[in-house]
Chain A
Amino acid sequence: MKAYLMLEDGHVFEGSTAVAFKDTISEIVFNTSMTGYPEIFTDPSYAGQAVVMTYPMIGNYGICRNDLESGQIRPDFFMLREMARMPSNFRCEESLDHFLKKQDIPVITGIDTRTLTKLLREEGTMNGLATTKAQENSEIIRNKLHSYKTGNVVERMTCSSQYTLTSPKSSKMIAVLDFGVKRSILKSLQRRGCSVTVFPAGTAAEEITGCHPDGIVLSNGPGDPKDCSNIIREIKKLCDSDIPMLAVCLGHQLISLAMGADTYRLKYGHRGGNHPVRNLLNGKVFMTSQNHGYAVKTCSMDRSKAQPLFENVNDGTNEGFLYINKKIITVQFHPEASPGPLDTGYLFDTFLKMTEVNQ
């Protein structure tokens, strides 16, 4: 049956869907990764958003549960050019189609994803309505779209209570503050011999430092960092604790805000696995996995507190800070990759080395 995407600016894109779904409003973003849809589709950072995949053939290798970044599909709906009817890979456990249907997540296929992407690039991120009703994109719909807010999505994505993952040869304990953490961050730590205790986003700083972790990781997560003022307060305290910290994506933005810097919304964000980032200490460039709609204003950071460590080669935006006289590294991109290049995975080693010096 036919399905439509109606955009805030009046554009309508037609596609189709195998099953009827109820009208769903979300913030429309595009991702340019050519592989890694299972990871993207379950990444909690997409809460409150709907994803357009620019690569036209999605679902080719099906779904392998081991690849998933959380327990369920996180975006509100998807827009694809073509969904594979027959996945093929030795790790495939079910088809993408089946995976989406099981969780009742709408998907519009056959949509002109390139034209849609270009529109989002030109006009900036917009809200949109997925519907199976053939209707005019009326002023009522457009107003409704315009006023849609993703809300406090971190609250929805964080774990409800603290839990611990051990590793066979646990030598260090790392606390992870969960704003919608990707499993691969936890796995990256476990793989390096850490036991990981995950705390809900609202946890008081004292509770975390009270556990005497060797290091703290502030996770990725969805939404506008400025919606998280309570969390920011606690993070400020964590920063004062002198415990080594690594912050990723939203975590990086939250520390920046805690340290007095400012964040802003990017026109259409960075979402994909090919974003070049320059290490400002040695000039070397790395390909990184990215998924963010907000960024930290480099100039808003007090240079006595932190120095820019990474910058985006394409648009010069801030990609990370090295905090002065502190053992804190923060990055806007995703060193845990998943999906995307593994080039900056070494940052976990750098971080863990900082915790060693601490001992």
Chain B
Amino acid sequence: MPRNADIQKVLVIGSGPIVIGQAAEFDYAGTQACRSLRREGIEVVLLNSNPATIMTDKDIADHVYIEPLTADTTEAVIRREKPDSILPTLGGQAGLNLAMELAESGFLEQEHVRLIGTTPETIKKAEDRQLFKDTMEKIGEPVAASRVVRNPEDGLDFVKTIGYPAVLRPAYTLGGSGGGIAKNEKEFCEILTNGLRLSRVGEVLVERCLSGWKEIEYEVMRDHNGTCIAVCNMENLDPVGIHTGDSIVAAPSQTLGDKEYQILRSSAFRIIEELQITGGCNVQFALNPDSMEYCVIEVNPRVSRSSALASKATGYPIAKVTAKIALGYNLDEIRNEITGKTYASFEPVLDYCVVKIPRLPFDKFIDADRTLTTQMKATGEVMSICDNFEGALMKAIRSLEQHAESLMSYDYTGYSTEEIKKLLTDVCDRRIWVIAEALRKGVSYHTIHDITRIDTWFIDKIANLVEMENSLRKVRDIYKGTMDPDILREAKRMEFPDSVISELTGIDERHVKEIRLENGILPSYRMVDTCAAEFEAETPYYYSVYDGVSENITETDRKKILVLGSGPIRIGQGVEFDYCSVHCTWAFSKAGYETIIINNNPETVSTDFDIADKLYFEPLTPEDVESITDKEKPFAAVVQFGGQTAIGLTEHLIRTGVPILGTSAEYIDAAEDRERFEKILEECHIKRPRGRTVYTAEEAKAAAHLLGYPVLVRPSYVLGGQGMQIALCDEDVDAYIGIINRIAQNHPILIDQYISGTEAETDAVCDGNDILIPGVMEHIERSGIHSGDSVSVYPARSLSKKVIGTIADYSGRLAKALHVLGMINIQFIVKNEQVYVIEVNPRSSRTVPFISKVTGIPVIELASQAMMGKTIYEMGYEPGLQRESNYYAVKMPVFSFEKISGAEVTLGPEMKSTGECLGIAENFQEALYKSFLGAGFRLAEYKNIIMTVKDSDKDAAVEASAKFIKAGCRIYATAGTAKAIEAAGLPVTAIRKIRQGSPNILDLILTHQIDLIVNTTKPGVKHEKDGFRIRRTAVETGVTTLTSIDTACALAVCLSERKREEMSLVDVASEI
């Protein structure tokens, strides 16, 4: 069918802020789809509240609304832009829900807007639990037996029909809290009773337990003609019971015979046929490992994290094809752009193996529960490609950037065999390391399989890696360091890094490489071509293998530039760095360079096959990067845009003869090196909080006494304030240094005086001489909370002209002193009109996409041009601080606390947010209001508020309470806070603390009477247990929890001063 000519203007809804379970994959899918829609001549209107994304760029859509993803704003955008269609399947669950809400309310019909891609009926059938069950039953597809129960008796009745173990899931609790697996009646009653209490609606779903079954996913597509294809299938190494987002996944399936493969594939087709899906769809199955029995777990009628993975794993652009199907094309009318010869109506075949490993945030939440469950906890993931499973697993492990290079990296050697067996029962993110140790200790495959239910095929692969460790150890222990080239060849085939080979054999790492070179043991680069070499491919998307012949890698006569990506998305290094890498690549491409990207994150735009001239899907370690630069010989590399990942590779690149474009390594180092940096500040006459560099806890305490408590304790060379804490006493210092040492660290520890003031931040471009400052941002929270977790406002509101002048002046001086060429990010504290510099990063930062979008200045492109030698004047700009925008913009952090059980909610110097959203308007109040809305604050619903704050916040708490009361809220407070509020003559209900017995604050929360809780505590290690319990309970039962009094005050102002009027909209593509 040709393209539907009625479709002229399409609204694409994005997925909003990055949260656990909804990450960069939707930026990738949305960007790809928007670009392909525009290529079809469609006018694209984009709505997404997330400013850090590439999809919200004016290059991607014709009209861009970075507004809260609510029904109200969507309706307003539709009324203003009058699109004829909405494409709802690219914005994850958030986008889909929003589109459904508008469809069901009749708004879309009234405005003559249709949903394209997938109809509301289809979405409903797939999403509504009961409708889905009925549909599956109608076509004879098995689903796990389940029932919603409202009392224990019904639960016990039902469980008799399905037997134990049984799964219980309370409705409307977050992070799977209150749910669990019951192995017997006693456990069942316990979990059920608790779950009924926790559930807002008093409902618990009881379900047949399939844990231990194989978890298999199919990414399928269907067009209007009923043609169905399976793009990819994937097998989870971790059986059913762990969310697929937290599982190690292999593509294609490894342990399924053709009969099983085809049974599930055909089932997926029957399902999408019945649901009348048009576009991409994800179908998840549980497959009994001992029979052909299977159950359909879930169907996602949209692009998803798995579809992003499948796209990168196969080279098949699911989002693009989905968009084209939405326009009316059929699969056999869409060309496969990888081969240029075949069509989208074929199934990719792989001649390699893909492994995905999730990136979990336990390095940020060190006290959180590491157990993996059906609630996803990963913030991101890495993917690797190799022609053997062992190699793919090894590459993926080192791509994680978690100080692990092999299956020996987490040390379990000290445990006894019995202890190891016990550890195997813990389903956590380090399970494969425990399995490796179990194998080293001689535990049988059978025993490991019995405990973990992981297929023995995977266990054997881990065993093969363990055997190779032993072979390499023998080189040292028996062969006295004489390396048999065949063993080395085999070790490299399995992707043992040289460093690990060196560690095991005792041969120096450089010498390992020499032996490799002598014996011709070098990586070759293969192409991901969708067709296992059956057709000639044109797309340069490469992965490495040892022991093979390289493809003919296309060469151009253009100068080659290497852009390093930022690896997996983690707290502190998110999608914003992908934004930077992609824009840098485009800038160099535009200037006529040949661009090469190395990255390993399947969720991102940067790893889409048509962003750079060449894509290497490889780990970002010195050795892997060196192998590529040895082959490609780029004229230079850019490290400023790939976060700390890329910065960390600078030294190695230079050592291997690759020049760095932009600020030189010497000055990158100077910004990080305490002594050199202090010297520079001194020369520039700039103040900073006094500080010391230390190596031991004793030195740290001595420094703290000298500086005076409170002090900031942090490791150097990290992003996102990892390990950074405010210490109030010696005990805190001891504890923090202990924690820092738990995370492998080769760098010194910094102790700084803590100054309480207003934080400000700039991102600037320097051409080596002049500096361009797009704007100054100011934080709402006072210093002490990580900049990534603070509400950031542009233009700065409370800072005086003089202070802003000083900030601009300091930025210029620092950029010049550090010989910055490209990006620089500087963070300040302002106290009593004094400006202190607290941090300088000679690289692109988290706020760059935000400041670019709200000022309209293409910061990354300008920085890239500066690196290419252009001056700021030549770029058409006046140096210095740019004119303030007519709009206020607020960047609001978004957290995923409810998903990580046991995580401390209180904010501090260590970053905890997973994403951000934007509020933009002509006046500050509205911008702030929008940003709260966008972050998911249900502003209109806040009626009952608990205040329980530390002494120093009491005055502010009274002020906030007054405003909340003015807005019609009722205040509850614990004794001290209540007294303060009462003293101000305000109405307040005093409530008891937990230790004062029931009824108390916890009961109030658990009976769902509270909408918002403001709880601030003193920093330091000694977080009282009760406070922690209150915050966790609040977060898990869906109560908004604020831990900074400044945020609470801002919210109170929003509620009390907000007039209910039509919300304004800003099209950032045309109005800025």
Contact = CB atoms under 8 A, between A and B. Distances in A.
Physical interaction between A and B: yes
Contacts of B256: 35, 61, 89
B457 A276 contact: no
Interface in B385-421: 387-389
Contacts of B36: none
Contact of B343 (A30, A60, A314, A341): A314
Contact of B229 (A33, A113, A287): A287
A81 interface: yes
Contacts of B353: 56-57
A36 to B, nearest CB: 4
A61 B257 contact: yes
B526 interface: yes
Contact of B456 (A86, A91, A340): A86
B332 A285 contact: yes
Interface in A264-293: 272-276, 278, 282-287
B603 interface: no
Interface in A43-93: 54-57, 60-61, 64, 67, 81-82, 84-91
Contact of A54 (B227, B265, B343, B533): B533
Given A276-B345, A340-B262, A341-B262, A87 B457 contact: yes
B342 interface: yes
Given A114-B548, A341-B262, A274 B347 contact: yes
A114 B533 contact: yes
A283 B225 contact: yes
A162 interface: no
Nearest to A270: B534
B1039 to A, nearest CB: 47
A339 interface: yes
Contacts of B341: 314
A32 interface: yes
A35 B258 contact: yes
Given A117-B532, A341-B262, A56 B352 contact: yes
B257 A64 contact: yes
A35 to B, nearest CB: 4
Contact of B342 (A89, A118, A282, A314): A314
Contacts of B531: 32, 274
Interface in A105-145: 110, 112-115, 117-118, 121
Interface string B326-360: 00001110000000011101111111110000000
Interface centre among A67, A84, A338 (most CB of B within 10 A): A84
A235 interface: no
Contacts of B460: 85-86, 88
Contacts of B253: 35
A159 interface: no
A34 B533 contact: no
B349 A112 contact: no
Given A61-B257, A86-B456, A341-B262, A276 B549 contact: no
Contacts of B526: 114
Contact of A57 (B254, B342, B536): B254
A55 B262 contact: no
Contacts of B352: 56
Interface in A88-104: 88-91
A276 B255 contact: no
A313 B343 contact: yes
A82 B547 CA distance: 12
Interface in A323-350: 337-343
Interface string B518-549: 00000000100001111110000000000111
Nearest to B1: A283
B532 to A, nearest CB: 4
B289 interface: yes
A178 interface: no
Contacts of A90: 289-291
B455 interface: yes
A224 interface: no
Contacts of B347: 273-274, 276, 287, 341
B332 A278 contact: yes
Given A34-B350, A337-B262, A340-B262, A115 B548 contact: yes
Contacts of A273: 347, 349
A319 interface: no
Nearest to A314: B342
B549 A115 contact: yes
A274 B351 contact: no
A39 interface: yes
A39 B258 contact: yes
Given A86-B460, A286-B227, A55 B532 contact: yes
B interface majority secondary structure: loop
A316 to B, nearest CB: 11
B351 A114 contact: yes
Contacts of A118: 533
A236 to B, nearest CB: 35
A185 B352 CA distance: 31
Given A36-B258, A340-B258, A121 B535 contact: yes
Contacts of A110: 547
Interface in B461-475: 464
Given A56-B388, A57-B388, A343-B269, A275 B259 contact: no
Interface centre among A54, A117, A285 (most CB of B within 10 A): A285
A53 to B, nearest CB: 9
A314 B289 CA distance: 36
Interface centre among B227, B230, B455, B532 (most CB of A within 10 A): B532
B879 interface: no
Contacts of A85: 460, 464
Contact of A34 (B228, B349, B387, B536): B349
B695 interface: no
B909 interface: no
Nearest to B259: A67
B457 A67 contact: no
B226 interface: yes
A117 B289 contact: no
Interface string B185-225: 00000000000000000000000000000000000000001
Given A90-B291, A113-B351, A283-B225, A84 B457 contact: yes
A313 B257 contact: no
Nearest to B389: A57
A79 to B, nearest CB: 13
B261 interface: yes
Contacts of B349: 32-34, 54-55, 272-274
Given A55-B350, A284-B225, A34 B332 contact: no
B257 A56 contact: no
Nearest to A274: B347
B1064 interface: no
Nearest to B251: A34
B533 A313 contact: no
Given A55-B349, A118-B533, A285-B331, A342 B262 contact: yes
Contact of A60 (B255, B346, B534, B547): B255
Nearest to B550: A115
B170 interface: no
A86 B258 contact: no
B95 interface: no
Contacts of B532: 32, 54-55, 114, 117, 272
Contacts of B330: 283, 285
A38 B258 CA distance: 9
Nearest to A112: B548
Contacts of A113: 351
18 contacts: A32-B532, A33-B349, A57-B389, A61-B256, A67-B259, A82-B387, A89-B256, A91-B257, A114-B387, A114-B526, A115-B548, A117-B533, A121-B536, A274-B349, A313-B332, A313-B345, A341-B262, A343-B266
What 8 A-B pairs come out closest when comparing CB atoms?
Answer: A36-B258, A88-B457, A339-B258, A274-B347, A54-B532, A35-B258, A285-B227, A86-B460
Given A38-B258, A313-B332, 4 more contacts: A56-B387, A117-B533, A273-B347, A343-B228
